[in-house]
Copies of this chain bind each other. A is one copy, B any other.
Amino acid sequence: MKISVVKDILDASARIAEENRLYFKENQIMVINLMSSPGSGKTTLLEKTIGALKNKVRIGVIEGDIQSTYDAERIQKTGAPVVQINTGGACHLDGNMIREALKKMDIKDLDILFIENVGNLVCPASFNLGENFKVVILSVAEGDDKPLKYPLIFQESSALIINKMDLLPFCDCNPELIEERALKINPQLAVFRVSLRTGERLEKWIDWVKQRVSSR
């Protein structure tokens, strides 16, 4: 008697992420999953990126937080459509949460959807949401050993934004080392050194986003 072998079956989370991916593709929208430790600058990056691009491309945002709507309120002020996910304790977003949030957002008229994950350098890296690109932010105040200690998020990401360069003179951090260590894990990583507080050095990041959205 032949034994049935069931293989390559995606688990529920991966299956829903794949459904999201197809839905995003049908709607010709580029999706970026933004990840970092708490307070590294995810919401500020979104505010500045929306500000820089809003006359050129249409941007929507899904905000992920354990609770509260503070980040969504900040995004709302930019004029971009925003939906807040409250995970109620969960430390990362998953594909199903995104599917639920998409019921509250009309993506047909959008070019880019940014998903701001829960502030956490660990867990979000393990969950696909159906996005095109993962982007990780690291602040120089966090130190230059983070790629060594949290390698998965650097491995999974397409871009690394090294933020708070304005704090560099006051921190024991060498951004060259961050870059070297991150590129050793993932040689394809695009690296941007910026200061979101002052708005400096954002041009290359904005160009990276523009290039990807025009070639989608």
A67-B149, A68-B148, A122-B118 known; A39-B197 Cβ under 8 A? no
Query: For A60, what are the chain B residues with a Cβ–Cβ distance below 8 Å?
Result: none
Distance from A13 Cβ to chain B, minimum over Cβ atoms (Å): 16
Query: What residue of chain B has the Cβ atom nearest to residue A151's Cβ?
Result: B67
Query: For A123, what are the chain B residues with a Cβ–Cβ distance below 8 Å?
Result: 91, 120, 122-123
Would B67 and A122 count as touching, CB distance under 8 A? no
Query: What residue of chain B has the Cβ atom nearest to residue A41's Cβ?
Result: B143
Query: For A172, what are the chain B residues with a Cβ–Cβ distance below 8 Å?
Result: 197
A167 contacts chain B at the CB level, 8 A cutoff: yes
A203 contacts chain B at the CB level, 8 A cutoff: no
Would B68 and A149 count as touching, CB distance under 8 A? yes
Rounded to whole angstroms, the CA-CA distance of A99 and B198 in the bound complex is: 47
Query: For A164, what are the chain B residues with a Cβ–Cβ distance below 8 Å?
Result: 141
Would A38 and B39 count as touching, CB distance under 8 A? no
A residues lining the B interface (CB < 8 Å): 37-40, 65-68, 70-71, 89, 91, 118-123, 126, 139, 141-143, 145-146, 148-152, 164, 166-167, 170-172, 197
